[in-house]
Every structure is written in structure tokens, then in C-alpha cells.
Amino acid sequence: MYVGRFAPSPTGPLHAGSLVAALASWLDARAHEGRWLVRIEDVDKPRCSPEATHTILAQLHAHGLVPDVPPVLQSERDALYQQALDQLLAAGLAYPCACSRKEIAQVLATQGQGQQRHGELVYPGTCRPENGGLHGREARAWRLHVAACLQRDGLPAGALTHWQDRRLGPQSQRVAEAVGDFVLRRADGLWAYQLAVVVDDAAQGITDVVRGEDLTDNTARQIVLQRALGLPTPRYLHTTLVLGANGEKLSKQNAAEPLPEGGAAQCVANLQAAAVALGLPAVSAASPEAALRQWILPWKMQFG
């Protein structure tokens, strides 16, 4: 049974780009006669608000995008994430880390490596158990031991993780080298997106992840984590991104406008723009529901 999801972070109202992801995941679920869930990804508590959650759910509803079961909130699922971290620690696949950002930067500088990835430093492994652990310091964050995860599956530490995207085709990443031992629980006590998303996709029985192309780069990391936890890997489809007038991807960070509000006609127009971005035909419809129905078949032809 197909189960899909839309997983917005409630840092602000939906914008044109997030509606594309919502529409694509909804259409894919309907095209497969599956279920469509909404998961509110509010693990980053200081950046998220109950008001934004409320607004997003109301916006989805106004656009005819109604989840088949009530939405779940990640902020209420700490126990599940803790259980997953405990499992990884017990298996020797995760470890506590005492290093601050500054210390990590210093170690990398002495090694002549300033390797940065989207502003993230590739962790040099100072606190790995085989390097002496915390060295008597206090744990701040918890990290996945990527090399140990790969080796447990009989792969070399530098192995490529391969996966197939339903739109983009074959993908691969050398996770240990490109990303390194990524954080599962942050120094501020918050759960990292990677852990929460992997635990929840499995707990909710998600078979198909349909989301924006900006998240493609996270997939190999999530697959390594799924395997480490003994969880299944869903199928993935990363959709095109909607670019703003400046050619940059729309996001709350670059102040993408919230979706224009209004009645049914405005919602149909918003959906129309999202559908065209996905390569679907323009339709004429009096209600969002009527418009949505007309895109199921064209979506099936493209991605079914």
C-alpha cells in the first residue's frame, strides 16, 4: 500500500515553492491510490511556531489538500528519536561529541582542510571511540559514525551510497567524505532533521518520499541512517524547484511571499502555478478539488 507525505517545517506560511511539494506528493499518492499524510516538522523549536502550523494546515485545506489521517507533530515524538539514538549507540554506530564548532575548525585548519559543505564542516573524528572518545570532556552533541555504518554492511568506509530518484535517475554520494559524521542530536538538545525524518518516515510506513529538489543532497545520508537502524528505504522523487525573480530557490529565508490568500478562484490560481511548475497542463476548474482531480491522470503519465 502506497503511503506518501508532505512534511513542512512551520517556520512561516506556505509559499509558492512549498505548494509545489505539497501538490506533487498529493498527486503521487492519489495516482497510486495510496494514502497521503502531513507531518509537521517542528523539531527546530525556536524557529517554528504553533501559529505557522495552524496557518499551513488551513492553507492546505483551502487548496483541497486534506491529509487522510490527522497530522503528526515532530515536537511530540522525542521518545521515538531517543529510542533510535539509543539503538545506534548500543550498536556502536553513533557516539557523543564534545567539540565546539570553533574546535572543529581549528583541527581542520591544522590538517590543512577547511572543507565546508553548505556552511557545515566535515567532522574530523576527534571524539570517535577509536580516537579516545570524549577525552574526559562533556558530551554536547551526538553523531552518526558513518564509516562504522558502512563497514557493518561489508562496505569500505569510503563507499559510495547509491540510490535511484524517480525523476533525476541514478544518484550517489560518498557520505563519509562529502558529509562526514553528521549530527543526530544537536548541542542545543534539539533533534537533527536527518534523524527525525528517517525515524518518522519508517514509523509512518512511508513508501514514497516526494519533495523538493533542494533536499536531494540529504537522501544518501538518510539511506545510511535507515540501514544503520534496520529500516526500509522508501522510493524517492525530487521535484523541480520554483525559482524567485532573482533566480534563487524560494524559501522563507529569502523572504518568499506567503501564498496569495482569497477564495476558491485564488486557490485554483495558486494550484495552477504549482502544477505548471511541475510540467502539468493548465486546467479550468471552479474549485481546488475539481482542479486537483484533473491533474491525477497527467501526473500518472509522467511519474506513474
Q: What are the binding residues for Zn(2+)?
A: 97, 99, 123, 127
* Residue 57 grid coordinates: 494546515
- Which CB sits closer to ligand GLU, 18 or 270? 18
Minimum CB separation of residue 119 from ligand GLU in Å reads: 16
- Which CB sits closer to ligand GLU, 18 or 272? 18
Among 3, 7, 48, 271, binds ligand GLU (CB under 6 A): 7
Specify the amino acid at residue 154.
Answer: G
For the stretch 270-275, contacts whose Cβ atoms lie closer than 8 Å and that sit 24 or more positions apart, written own/partner, are 270/16, 270/19, 270/63, 271/19, 271/23, 271/63, 271/64, 273/16, 273/19, 274/16, 274/19, 274/20, 274/22, 274/23, 274/242, 275/23
Residues binding ligand GLU: number (CB under 6 A): 7
Minimum CB separation of residue 54 from ligand GLU in Å reads: 16
Q: E strand or H helix at 96, and its extent?
A: strand 94-97
In whole angstroms, give the CA distance from residue 148 to residue 146: 5
221 binds ligand GLU per the rule CB under 6 A: no
In whole angstroms, give the CA distance from residue 209 to residue 180: 24
Q: What are the binding residues for L-glutamate?
A: 5-9, 41, 193, 211
Question: Which residues have CB under 8 Å from 296's CB, separation 6+?
Answer: 27, 30, 31
Among 147, 192, 215, 291, binds ligand GLU (CB under 6 A): 215
Within residues 190-209, the interface with ligand GLU by CB under 6 A covers 197
Minimum CB separation of residue 186 from ligand GLU in Å reads: 16
Minimum CB separation of residue 225 from ligand GLU in Å reads: 12
Rounded to 5°, the CA angle 154-156-160 comes to 105
Specify the amino acid at residue 168.
Answer: L
- Applying CB under 6 A, the span of 2-10, 28-36, 129-137, 228-236 interacting with ligand GLU comes to 2-10
Minimum CB separation of residue 279 from ligand GLU in Å reads: 20
41 binds ligand GLU per the rule CB under 6 A: yes
Q: Strand pairing partners for 259?
A: none
Return the number of other C-beta atoms located less than 10 Å from residue 25's C-beta: 24
* Residue 274 grid coordinates: 504549482
- Applying CB under 6 A, the span of 4-12, 46-54, 102-110, 271-279 interacting with ligand GLU comes to 4-12
24 binds ligand GLU per the rule CB under 6 A: no
- Which CB sits closer to ligand GLU, 149 or 197? 197
Minimum CB separation of residue 197 from ligand GLU in Å reads: 5
Q: How far is CA 159 from the centre of its chain?
A: 23
> Which residues are near ligand GLU by CB under 6 A?
7-9, 41, 197, 211, 215
